[in-house]
Chains A and B, each alone.
Chain A
């Protein structure tokens, strides 16, 4: 019997060893995966025991995200609340009890909960936990300007659209307003999420959760002439004084494309002999159609890429809440190898299958304002530890040079003329020279347009760039409906 005993003992020991192995698996190997699961009730509670970092603007007295303290059976819990309601809802996002998160609340979660910082911070956190103290997260200080943001939202009203603005010297995003907006406090209430999903702007069935400034893709229309003109001038193939003859249409693929297709044009439909600068000032499609054909789609797209097209612009919000601009085919970014697959003429004046986010258009304007260097956009200025120490301070940087300073100066002049005596006169600010470009893109529905205005000011020493887009405007042209909003926000930024 002893031999059998030995064997049975061996089997038994092996069984217990398996238990240690399995425990190791779950506690070491599989633990991170378990922690990330949505239904993990423990992590849900843990989240409440952390005093999540505040989210505040650098200037202004408001708080975008704060905490409400509550004692439950001897433990202190912190519940998230959003005092500014819809003011920066899509950018700040939300963090709910069910651990669904969006916006900066999602992408900066590790900072807000204090879990991903440097070693000394990790040590402090562990000590706090062992000592039974509250783990405190880090505060986010945003570059958003609450007063300009509030103005932008009120001017947007119930229209669907976005207003974005940037400090052109630093890349700091000062306005990131998306309409319709929602109250993030609703998300965590029973039935609240469904309520948010039901929010409709004037444009009809569109989500309030979408951050239109960074993820809304719109046909750029004539605002894309900034990129076409940049390619034309920077490549040396055209000068502002290059002459064109506008018969009122452009022959594209053997067929005339009428200027009348562009409601953005001011004045008569037929301009006759003009130069490139005048073509830009009055947004003449035939001129840019011919420029596009002469340059070829490849060159235009290559210049677009220098401005940041075809890649998701950097920002601290989650990557899936930002979109890359460019040609789109079947809902996907489309960069054809063969340029003949793209209608260069239509691309020249921003139709084709080109889709652009407000942020990207803002970056184009900011680059022109910044003498040809693309500022790197950011919205988190500082991350501050619970003890007041600065964990991260964003230094302004750039994404490289897109165009020569000379080209930028020429484009600036052209954009100034747009506001002074072209399609964008509604954006004039007394005493300040504004450089801008209008855009009114066809939506496929007659008389319903996507209305753009992109500008920067002051033209001689640019400080801010502003981009405004309005969806589904009935007979609403960029110069008429979007330019006044851009003007108001710009004035607020310059004087406020």
Chain B
């Protein structure tokens, strides 16, 4: 509760600096948070007490920055948060007795995950954004089904690995079958949709869960080898991917190079790596203390946006500029605390499915953070995915609230059993 009040005050302070009239958002958000808190209090009373406040804080930071970058988007994001909280509450209520019933539907989850991943490829509803086909449009709403596919996949993997972990560790080929089939299909879909960030994320989750389940480092090594081989093939075959790697290694050129956008030549920083490079300038401009919320520079003298996708993939660049190194480091530390609580949940869980589910959800959350922030900071090639809970994007918020619900369910059960024993 203390944390909740703390973040609320931070949030209100942040909002009032942008405009005094936006208090509505703060009050509304606080109310929403309290509602989530009350639902959690009744359904999962023994759940880890830090998870919900941490998630709330991250969401608040994100909403504040989204509001700062474009109030209209903040309203949409606000709606999605309401939906997410509702789904979160429904999940807690629905599964409060025993979430392990999910284990029984593992193949349904496996198939469902792939169906969700395939959805954007369907003609009519699928949409290509920034070279990756991962959107579904129905009416006025855009949705990334892959975000939910991720959760389904984690549930499937947790259940399947729990059941087969001993035999898998022995390395019998036939038991690997379903797992490889589902995995291979998932990878294929991802390559076809050209959404590399997600491919890396799902593959990483898979390897992480496999390692925890089987305790075999060799699997991880082989898996990484396979991934590198696959990546090399993709690199050769997909210009979209080649550009990403080139931009990563050499974002600045001193001589004009071929620019696929115009067909002519331009300096790479004025063409394909423009977004990455300007995002680094944004981060660099923040310096130690940042410009202060609302005082950052995101539009040029003509009033146009400097960095496209600033509130989704590049929200970290916007935050780093406005809250500086101190704020950005604090933000990453928030993620770290959340992730450590998640691992603690996995440690305390006393049976395989729960442990693996918690690990999958936690590690996926952390890996996604690493892939997007690491990409922005040129630690790894940049692939566009959202920053969990902070980025603008309904499907992302929804899926991360499901992660939160999952972790709270597991921890509630673990703690109850510990008390009972």
Q: Is B396 an interface residue (CB 8 A)?
A: no
Residues of B within 8 A of A5 (CB): 212, 343, 346-347, 355, 359
CB within 8 Å of A: which of B355-377? Answer: 355, 359, 362-363, 366-367, 369-370, 373-374, 377
Q: Which residue of A lies closest to B281 (CB)?
A: A40
CB within 8 Å of B: which of A7-42? Answer: 8-9, 12-13, 15-16, 18-20, 22-28, 30-31, 34-35, 37, 39-42
In the bound complex, what is the Cα–Cα distance between A346 and B211 (angstroms)? 86
Q: Is B75 an interface residue (CB 8 A)?
A: no
Q: Is A303 an interface residue (CB 8 A)?
A: no
Q: Is B332 an interface residue (CB 8 A)?
A: yes
**Residue among B269, B291, B301, B373 making CB contact with A97, cutoff 8 Å:** B301
Q: Is B270 an interface residue (CB 8 A)?
A: yes
Asked if A27 contacts B325 (CB within 8 A), the reply is: yes
Residues of A within 8 A of B27 (CB): none
Q: Which residue of B lies closest to A16 (CB)?
A: B336
Q: Given the known A-B contacts A2-B347, A23-B328, are A12 and B379 also in contact in the complex, defined by CB atoms under 8 Å? A: no
9 smallest CB-CB distances across A and B, nearest first, come from: A34-B284, A22-B377, A9-B343, A31-B284, A73-B303, A27-B325, A4-B212, A40-B281, A41-B306
Q: Given the known A-B contacts A5-B346, A8-B212, A31-B287, are A16 and B370 also in contact in the complex, defined by CB atoms under 8 Å? A: yes
**Residue among B291, B346, B378 making CB contact with A22, cutoff 8 Å:** B378
Please give the distance in Å from A235's CB to the nearest CB on chain B.
51
Q: Given the known A-B contacts A27-B324, A31-B287, are A37 and B355 also in contact in the complex, defined by CB atoms under 8 Å? A: no
Asked if B292 contacts A18 (CB within 8 A), the reply is: no
In the bound complex, what is the Cα–Cα distance between A115 and B270 (angstroms)? 27
Task: Known A-B contacts: A8-B208, A8-B212, A27-B325. Give 4 more (CB < 8 A).
Answer: A22-B374, A34-B284, A42-B281, A45-B299
Asked if B285 contacts A20 (CB within 8 A), the reply is: no
Q: Is A72 an interface residue (CB 8 A)?
A: yes
Q: Is B283 an interface residue (CB 8 A)?
A: yes
Q: Given the known A-B contacts A4-B212, A41-B281, A73-B299, are A16 and B306 also in contact in the complex, defined by CB atoms under 8 Å? A: no
Q: Given the known A-B contacts A5-B346, A5-B359, are A30 and B303 also in contact in the complex, defined by CB atoms under 8 Å? A: no
Interface size of B as a range: 35 or more
Please give the distance in Å from A211's CB to the nearest CB on chain B.
27
Between A12, A13, A44, the greatest number of chain B beta carbons within 10 A of the residue's beta carbon is seen for A12
Q: Is A62 an interface residue (CB 8 A)?
A: no
**Residue among A23, A41, A73 making CB contact with B320, cutoff 8 Å:** A23
B residues at A contact (CB < 8 Å): 208, 211-213, 215, 252, 267, 269-270, 277-278, 280-288, 291-292, 295, 297, 299-303, 306, 320-321, 324-325, 328-329, 332-333, 335-336, 339-340, 343, 346-347, 352, 355, 359, 362-363, 366-367, 369-370, 373-374, 377-379
**Residue among A2, A3, A35, A46 making CB contact with B297, cutoff 8 Å:** A46
Asked if A18 contacts B339 (CB within 8 A), the reply is: no
In the bound complex, what is the Cα–Cα distance between A1 and B321 (angstroms)? 41
Asked if A27 contacts B373 (CB within 8 A), the reply is: no
CB within 8 Å of B: which of A25-82? Answer: 25-28, 30-31, 34-35, 37, 39-46, 48-49, 72-73, 77
Please give the distance in Å from B377's CB to the nearest CB on chain A.
4
17 pairs, CB–CB < 8 Å, chain A vs chain B: A1-B213, A3-B215, A5-B212, A9-B339, A15-B374, A16-B335, A18-B379, A19-B377, A19-B379, A22-B377, A26-B283, A27-B288, A27-B320, A27-B325, A30-B280, A34-B281, A46-B297
Asked if A1 contacts B352 (CB within 8 A), the reply is: yes
Interface size of A as a range: 35 or more
Residues of B within 8 A of A2 (CB): 347
Q: Is A130 an interface residue (CB 8 A)?
A: yes
Please give the distance in Å from B68's CB to the nearest CB on chain A.
13
Q: Which residue of A lies closest to B295 (CB)?
A: A132
A residues at B contact (CB < 8 Å): 1-6, 8-9, 12-13, 15-16, 18-20, 22-28, 30-31, 34-35, 37, 39-46, 48-49, 72-73, 77, 97, 129-130, 132
Asked if A12 contacts B343 (CB within 8 A), the reply is: yes
Asked if B378 contacts A130 (CB within 8 A), the reply is: no
Residues of A within 8 A of B300 (CB): 41, 44-45
Residues of A within 8 A of B267 (CB): 39
Please give the distance in Å from A337's CB to the nearest CB on chain B.
38
Asked if B286 contacts A27 (CB within 8 A), the reply is: yes
Q: Given the known A-B contacts A8-B212, A19-B332, A97-B301, are A24 and B325 also in contact in the complex, defined by CB atoms under 8 Å? A: yes
Residues of A within 8 A of B270 (CB): 39
Asked if A45 contacts B301 (CB within 8 A), the reply is: yes
Q: Given the known A-B contacts A19-B379, A28-B325, are A42 and B343 also in contact in the complex, defined by CB atoms under 8 Å? A: no
Residues of B within 8 A of A9 (CB): 339-340, 343
In the bound complex, what is the Cα–Cα distance between A9 and B208 (angstroms)? 10
Q: Given the known A-B contacts A39-B267, A42-B281, A77-B301, are A26 and B377 also in contact in the complex, defined by CB atoms under 8 Å? A: yes
Please give the distance in Å from A409's CB to the nearest CB on chain B.
56
Q: Given the known A-B contacts A1-B215, A41-B281, A130-B292, are A24 and B287 also in contact in the complex, defined by CB atoms under 8 Å? A: no
Residues of B within 8 A of A28 (CB): 287-288, 325
Between B286, B301, B362, B374, the greatest number of chain A beta carbons within 10 A of the residue's beta carbon is seen for B301
Q: Given the known A-B contacts A5-B212, A8-B211, are A43 and B281 also in contact in the complex, defined by CB atoms under 8 Å? A: yes
In the bound complex, what is the Cα–Cα distance between A39 and B280 (angstroms)? 12
Residues of A within 8 A of B208 (CB): 8
Asked if B374 contacts A18 (CB within 8 A), the reply is: yes
Residues of A within 8 A of B333 (CB): 20
Asked if B377 contacts A42 (CB within 8 A), the reply is: no
Asked if B370 contacts A19 (CB within 8 A), the reply is: yes
Asked if A8 contacts B343 (CB within 8 A), the reply is: yes
Q: Which residue of B lies closest to A126 (CB)?
A: B289
**Residue among B287, B303, B359, B373 making CB contact with A8, cutoff 8 Å:** B359
Please give the distance in Å from B259's CB to the nearest CB on chain A.
14
